[in-house]
Amino acid sequence: MAKKVQALEERRSAPVLSAAERQVENFRQAREARRTELTEDYVELIADLLDDAGEARQVDIAARLGVAQPTVAKALRRLADTGLIVQKPYRGVFLTEAGRQLAEESRERHQIVESFLRALGVSEDVARVDAEGIEHRVSEETLRAFRRFAQDKKS
């Protein structure tokens, strides 16, 4: 979250870009969003597994994501290297404080986007699925607008 705020502040103070430079920046931001999306999906799923079953095992993560265990092992190594998880032999995967915080922020973003879509009249099932992709790509400014809109619709 702090990285996103910092990036936004840097963009605000950045010089005006040409059309080509803006396109380069847009693609750079899209690539960064894809990397962030995977990280957020993993920590959110790990948090769900820990909350629901009391443990998050590599095999369960692979099954829930629909990917092979070697794919999960590689992702878990990256998460451990960035300090978001701890892996304990024969005990599974645990979130660090930073990992738990990221999972909670991601979950909150998802809920805001889903509430916004529901306020627009999107069905519950479709809103849940669509929110999964949108939550990772939406700016803080847009997220605040989504929240306000959804709250106003409830009133």
Q: Which stretch of DSSP H or E encloses residue 94? A: strand 92-95
Its pTM stands at 0.76
Can you give the pLDDT at residue 34?
73
What's the sign of the alpha-carbon dihedral 37, 82, 95, 87?
Answer: positive
Q: Is the pLDDT of residue 155 over 90?
A: no
Residue 143 has pLDDT above 70, yes or no: yes
Please, which pLDDT band fits residue 15 given cuts at 50, 70 and 90?
low
3-state helix/strand/coil string of 78-115:
HHHHCCCEEEECCCEEEECHHHHHHHHHHHHHHHHHHH
Q: What domains are defined for the chain?
A: 2-154 (1.10.10.10)
Name the pLDDT band for 141 (thresholds 50, 70, 90).
very high
- Average pLDDT (39-66) is 95
pLDDT at position 118: 95
CA separation for the pair 23, 118 (Å, rounded): 32
Q: Is the pLDDT of residue 7 over 70?
A: no
Residue with tokens 């040409």: 18
For the chain, the average pLDDT equals 88
Q: What are phi and psi of 91, to 5 degrees?
A: -125, -15
Q: What number of residues does the chain have? A: 155
Question: What are residue 14's phi and psi, to 5 degrees?
Answer: -75, 150
Q: What is the mean pLDDT of residues 106-115?
A: 94
